[in-house]
Chains A and B, each alone.
Chain A
Amino acid sequence: MGDIKKVATRMAFGEALTQIGAREDIVVMDADLTKSTMTNLFQKVYPKRHINCGIAEGNMISTAAGLASCGKTVFAASFAMFSTGRAFEQVRNSVAYPHLNVKIVGSHAGLTVGEDGATHQCIEDVALMRAIPGMVIVSPADATETHAAVRAIADYKGPVYLRVSRLAMPVLFDPDSYQFTLGKGHIMRDGSDVTIIGAGLLLHEGVKAADMLAGEGISVRLVDMATIKPIDSELIIESAKKTGAIVCVEEHNVIGGLGGAVAEVLGQNYPVPMEIVGVADQFGRSGKPEALLDAYHMSAPYIVGKVKRVLERKQK
């Protein structure tokens, strides 16, 4: 296992920004976390277009709106807790209402922030951003997908929330063949008994769960839903029709995130039994990331448990 390449999506974000940084319209903002969000990579190459706002996230977001109103493509990064939580109202009123070209970046999303504990473990960011009219939300699972997503959202004109993680994870997708389309999920492997839909870091646990289930003769369709909004309704409905049961996996509160988005599509179009693996409406706590995923019943064995439960419901 030691030679598997692991890269945090925040690192891939910083690298991708730097790769597209020659574009003069790109301005990167940060709030005193440049070495954590990895915007420092961009800063080293393009110091003039890297704006450190100090510890003032609300001001950063409204300033980003002003820059965008003058034609800039702005990436404004902080921890997810602060870029979407602290600055929620600035995102809503300064950026989203006038549909300005600002990419709000939330790094260190979810429980796997680890040791910092609940104050920094944002499990509400997707719910907050999803409730804002017109906001696009992208939650890439690995470095390859993050690179592709950063390019895609830089080319899209309008507000986007990009969710990235602290923890280094294996690279799931081959950079030479992987295709990312904003607004589309993709089938990582096909199956017939149940669909696991995942996004972000917890998709890795979904992959492990699918492997474990395959060993037990359960055929899993595994869907990577990197764009959480606008959600790929077509793929969700098609998966429901084909497999008759769905389990969503996400490193977020079970309220208002990917699971909520999928439930809204299913409930209004093609209801099938579904389960959500996520944080069960409680705050996080300090600990090692892996220990936290176990403690909050989000690691692969728990996903397997939820799949079995949804299959029982499907039989009835």
Chain B
Amino acid sequence: MDNKTALKLSVIAAKAKKNALRGIYESQSGHPGGSMSVMDILVTLFFSEMNVDPKNPHDPKRDRFVLSKGHCAPGLYGVLAERGFFETAACAGFRTIDSCLQGHPDMKSVSGVDMSTGSLGQGVSAANGMALAGKLDGAGYRVYVATGDGELQEGQVWEAAMFSAQYKLDNLTLFVDNNGLQIDGDIAGIMNPAPIAEKYRAFGWNVLEIDGHDYHQIADAIQKAKAEKGRPTAVVCKTIKGKGISYMEDRAEWHGKAPNKEEYETAVAELDARIAELEGQING
């Protein structure tokens, strides 16, 4: 990936973060921390890799994405809106009674959502099913799934890890959003899933470890996963919870809390400044 492309993705990510925070602020409900930490992964997938078409969202040949950490729906909605699946203005209705943007992703009501998620630990299994369907049909699409690191405490994640390897699902790529924090605090102090990369290697996966905020590394990992034959790839992404919002960064309290007016305005100002800076670099 060239630098200009990376800069453009950074701008999109900042805009998508604004969409996400708008919904959380308006409804005074939602999960900003993980939505920010997973954002660069989502933007890379939806804007530089995945074969998806907002005008034909159910195309059987499309690549699939499952947000197993479904509470980070605001992040996904923010990206889907930027990608053109629905109006960005719709993000403001997140979690409200007349909106299709449910608190956790609902594949039945939101264009671009490939699987309903929210109950942690189930998304990798669903992604396995999609990848297996692709194998059975000889279809060329790829399946991407993102989990949290706290989510790895769910046993089903490891049942799924065995399954992916058993059925040689090399069309599956898993991103672990390893921000180190969960709602009650530090994952290491609650129920430590580490060492994550070693665990996936032991389960028979191809494993890559990257900085989950570096577009070059994310894009490179996606290409390496595509080249891997006979086994699935797990990309363990070191990330920062609340990334890009100064007062949220690396703080567990922002797992599931909405900003107040002042905090929201600060976040928007920071993101606007970031966008202006990036656009300056792109044009300069």
Give the B-binding residues of A (Cβ under 8 A).
Answer: 27, 48-49, 51, 53-54, 56, 58-59, 61-72, 89-90, 93-94, 97-99
Contact = CB atoms under 8 A, between A and B. Distances in A.
B280 interface: no
A89 B126 CA distance: 14
A53 B129 CA distance: 11
Interface string B103-128: 00011100000111011001101111
Query: Chain B: interface residue count, which band?
Result: 20 to 34
Interface of B: 60, 64, 66, 106-108, 114-116, 118-119, 122-123, 125-134, 136-137, 156, 159-160, 162-163, 166-167
Contacts of A63: 125-126, 128-129, 132, 160, 163
Given A59-B156, A61-B125, A98-B108, 17 more contacts: A56-B162, A56-B163, A58-B159, A59-B163, A62-B123, A62-B125, A63-B126, A63-B128, A66-B125, A66-B129, A69-B114, A70-B60, A72-B136, A94-B119, A94-B126, A98-B107, A98-B115
Given A56-B162, A71-B60, A98-B107, A66 B118 contact: no
Contacts, number: 101
B126 A71 contact: no
Contacts of A59: 125, 156, 159-160, 163
Interface centre among A51, A69, A72, A90 (most CB of B within 10 A): A69
A277 B118 CA distance: 39
Closest 3 CB pairs of A and B: A66-B129, A62-B125, A70-B133
A66 B160 CA distance: 12
B118 to A, nearest CB: 7
Nearest to B139: A70
A69 B145 CA distance: 15
Contacts of B167: 51
A101 to B, nearest CB: 12
A229 B137 CA distance: 33
Contacts of A99: 108
Contacts of A69: 107, 114-115, 126, 129-130, 133
Contacts of B118: 93
Contacts of A93: 116, 118-119, 122
Nearest to A55: B159
Contacts of B66: 66
A311 to B, nearest CB: 48
A98 B116 contact: yes
Interface centre among A54, A64, A94 (most CB of B within 10 A): A94
Contacts of A67: 129-130, 132-133
A36 to B, nearest CB: 20
A98 B117 CA distance: 9
B91 to A, nearest CB: 22
B90 to A, nearest CB: 20
A48 B136 contact: yes
A63 B123 CA distance: 9
Contacts of A54: 159, 162-163, 166
Contacts of A64: 129
A66 B132 contact: yes
